[in-house]
Amino acid sequence: MPSSERRRFVARRTLITGASSGIGEQFARALASRGSDLVLVARRADRLQKLADELTEKFGVHCAAVPFDLATDNPGENLRAQIHGDIDLLVNNAGFATQGLFMDTEAADYRTEIAVDVLAVVDLTRAFLPAMIERGRGGIINVSSTTAFQPVPSLAVYSASKAFVLSFSQSLWFEARKHGITAFTLAPGPTRTEFFDIIGDDASVVGSFQTPEQVVATGLRALDRRRPPPHVVSGRRNSVAAHLAGLVPRRILIPALDRVMHPTTSSDNRGVRVRP
């Protein structure tokens, strides 16, 4: 790509959800190295504060650790009231997954999953986007998943939630760019985070494993483009798989995915809940 098509996106202040581990933590490290002050949001106060202290000392940026449960009512308004001041970049990264046969998981867990993976993304975007538009600058990265590109047996609600994030972000991409705002969705494939520490590497694997560093590098390359695409898939193989999923008839694709996901439909892995 010609150099004229890239610029280094430097946010003065970034809010990252799900920042205590995995992709969210790596976003924090990468953006702190660019000189951005940070608002780190997650439920685990001790891990957030440890990370905030480390990044402040290493990069000389101001890092605020904000323990917060995104599954509450009005998370965007409540969080905005807590942090005060402008946000130049919003990274909606927090995620909650339930894995197993649909009837083996409690309805309350599904409500939490939808609250974190869908409602919080919309609510935080609605809370912080208006000020970005008013200033004429800003960015939003909504972290989705390659599961967004097809239904996935044993991850029925999770894949549907990520499909929502993908569609929502694509519309947002078009609307926001009219105001000079960069918005897109980042879709990782299987990533070596706590999700697979809990359920095992052999479960729920569709695509090629990457590290959080690789995923975040993909996201930041897109952020630095003057005209990023509506969505970015991390990893060449994952990108090809996501594209091909849209070409295969669902009556063929879904049974094939069920065979790939067979370990997750056994009695040993029913109703697994993963929420970093």
The residues assigned a catalytic role are 158
Cα diameter, the chain = 54
Query: How many Cβ atoms sit within 10 Å of the Cβ of residue 274?
Result: 19
- At residue 90, the 3 state secondary structure works out as strand
Element (H, E) at 3: none
Q: CA 135, CA 119: separation in Å to the nearest integer?
A: 25
Closest CA to 154 of 232, 267, 73: 267
Q: CA 82, CA 5: separation in Å to the nearest integer?
A: 37
Give backbone dihedrals phi and psi of 146, rounded to 5 degrees, phi first: -65, -15
> Which residues fall within 8 angstroms of residue 170, CB to CB, at 6 or more apart?
185, 230, 231
Element (H, E) at 179: none
